[in-house]
């Protein structure tokens, strides 16, 4: 393992002004997204949609540091025969790959999940590296509800994240470690804070036990935020203040960067939260976005599966990428959204 090289890639992934596009929706998830815009989820439509994103020159060259791909996409070619991975590389962004194989019910723990995909992972990583992937992603899912999460679910998921991360580094691939505490429930921000703290502490304990080099990884956490169904929604300032306090407590300064998931926040909320966090600096790590929905909802709607809407889809994507790029430097203002509208 060449740690200097891993650190270089991890640092580039969280460069100020840039962040990561999470375009790694598995077949079931992209079908849901396409259903919402009335587009059939065929292989050609998935290719056309992602090709539209990766050919968005302004977004890709100025605001996107890396793209997380799904297995199907990493092997796909654009309409003119250029591998989609090459389009990403040509734009100056780094290709990455989701390597977990989804979740399964965790035995003896009703309502809880464990992420799977460790079998044969070493062999798969080798092939992904040859295809151009320089980072990978594995997402663990922790739900908050009555009596959960259990320490069992937190432990097994942290263990799997660390096993994955060590295998990635041995294959010269930077692991994005994503322990997601869902914001689906009616819990308040303090309950989210407390659960996320337990999850992050356990995750870093496992990373250390399994000898993962913190300098060669990126953390992808949720923010400390109120559950979607909570009657009392925390303000932007409270989310920013509690998230930074939480991360300062749990994430060692050796980690080059933190890139948030959006988790179901609206586009503008996700941008405003990241921006507000940068007002609380200086911070010991790079801090940026790795959004899926909060970057793609607008371009999906603008595109709606029609070739004549490609330019509109690219404009919508470039706008969100630019807003989040500014937020990653604390330079975003809500008036910039109104101007664009
Ligand atoms: C893009 O969605 C990713 C893939 O999810 P599935 O495996 O369920 O299809 C997801 O892991 C995503 O990378 C992160 O959750 C961040 O996305 P959001 O939409 O929360 O920003």
Write out the residue range of the structural domain in which residue 106 sits: 3-340
- Which of 122, 78, 38 is CA-nearest to residue 304? 38
DSSP run (H or E) holding 180: strand 174-181
Pocket test for ligand 1, best of 13, 19, 21, 22 (most atoms within 8 A of CB): 22
- Ligand 1 centroid to 22 CA: how many Å? 7
Q: 50: how many CB neighbours lie within 10 A of its CB?
A: 24
Strands 218-219 and 174-181: what pairing? parallel
Concerning whether 137 is annotated as a catalytic residue, the answer is no
Tens place of pLDDT per residue across the chain (341 aa):
999 999 999 999 999 999 999 999 999 999 999 999 999 999 999 999 999 999 999 999 999 999 999 999 999 999 999 999 999 999 999 999 999 999 999 999 999 999 999 999 999 999 999 999 999 999 999 999 999 999 999 999 999 999 999 999 999 999 999 999 999 999 999 999 999 999 999 999 999 999 999 999 999 999 999 999 999 999 999 999 999 999 999 999 999 999 999 999 999 999 999 999 999 999 999 999 999 999 999 999 999 999 999 999 999 999 999 999 999 999 999 999 975 55
Q: Looking at residue 340, what is its pLDDT?
A: 58
User: How far apart, in Å, are the Cα atoms of 11 and each of 7, 58, 161, 286?
Assistant: 6, 21, 20, 8
Non-local CB neighbours of 59 within 8 Å, separated by 6+ positions: 53, 314, 317, 318, 321, 322
Whether ligand 1 lies within 6 angstroms of the CB of 22 is answered as yes
Tell me, in angstroms, the distance from the centre of ligand 1 to residue 262's CA.
9
Diameter of the chain measured on Cα atoms = 53
What atom in ligand 1 is closest to the CA of residue 28? 9
Q: What is the DSSP letter of 110?
A: T
Residue of 184, 90, 168, 103 whose CA lies nearest to 129: 168
pLDDT score at 256: 98
CATH code for the domain of 27 = 3.20.20.70
User: How many domains is the chain partitioned into structurally?
Assistant: 1
Specify whether 220 is catalytic.
yes
Q: Catalytic: which of 25, 178, 180, 206? A: 178
């Amino acid at each position: 393992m060449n740690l200097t090289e891993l650190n270089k890639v991890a640092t580039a992934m969280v460069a100020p002004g840039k962040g990561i596009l999470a375009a790694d929706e598995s077949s079931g998830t992209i079908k849901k997204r396409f259903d919402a815009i009335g587009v059939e989820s065929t292989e050609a439509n998935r290719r056309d949609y992602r090709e539209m994103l990766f050919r968005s020159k302004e977004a890709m060259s100025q605001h996107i540091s890396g793209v997380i791909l799904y297995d199907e996409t990493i092997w796909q070619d654009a309409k003119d025969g250029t591998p989609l991975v090459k389009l990403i590389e040509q734009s100056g962004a780094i290709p990455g790959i989701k390597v977990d194989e989804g979740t399964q019910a965790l035995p003896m723990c009703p309502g809880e999940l464990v992420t799977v995909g460790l079998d044969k992972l070493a062999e798969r990583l080798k092939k992904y590296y040859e295809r151009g992937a320089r980072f990978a992603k594995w997402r663990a899912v922790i739900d908050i509800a009555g009596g959960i999460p259990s320490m069992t679910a937190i432990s097994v998921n942290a263990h799997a994240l660390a096993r994955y991360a060590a295998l990635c580094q041995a294959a010269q691939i930077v692991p994005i470690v994503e322990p997601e505490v869902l914001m689906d429930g009616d819990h308040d921000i303090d309950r989210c804070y407390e659960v996320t703290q337990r999850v992050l502490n356990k995750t870093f304990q496992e990373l250390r036990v399994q000898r993962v080099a913190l300098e060669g990884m990126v953390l992808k956490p949720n923010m400390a935020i109120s559950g979607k169904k909570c009657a009392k929604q925390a303000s932007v300032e409270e989310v920013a203040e509690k998230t930074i306090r939480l991360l300062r407590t749990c994430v060692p300064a050796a980690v080059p960067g933190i890139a948030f998931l959006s988790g179901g926040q609206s586009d503008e909320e996700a941008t405003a939260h990241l921006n507000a966090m940068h007002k609380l600096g200086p911070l010991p790590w790079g801090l940026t976005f790795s959004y899926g929905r909060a970057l793609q909802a607008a371009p999906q709607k603008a595109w709606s599966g029609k070739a004549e809407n490609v330019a509109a889809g690219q404009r919508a994507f470039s706008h969100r990428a630019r807003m989040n790029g500014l937020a990653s430097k604390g330079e975003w203002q809500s008036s910039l959204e109104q101007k664009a509208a």
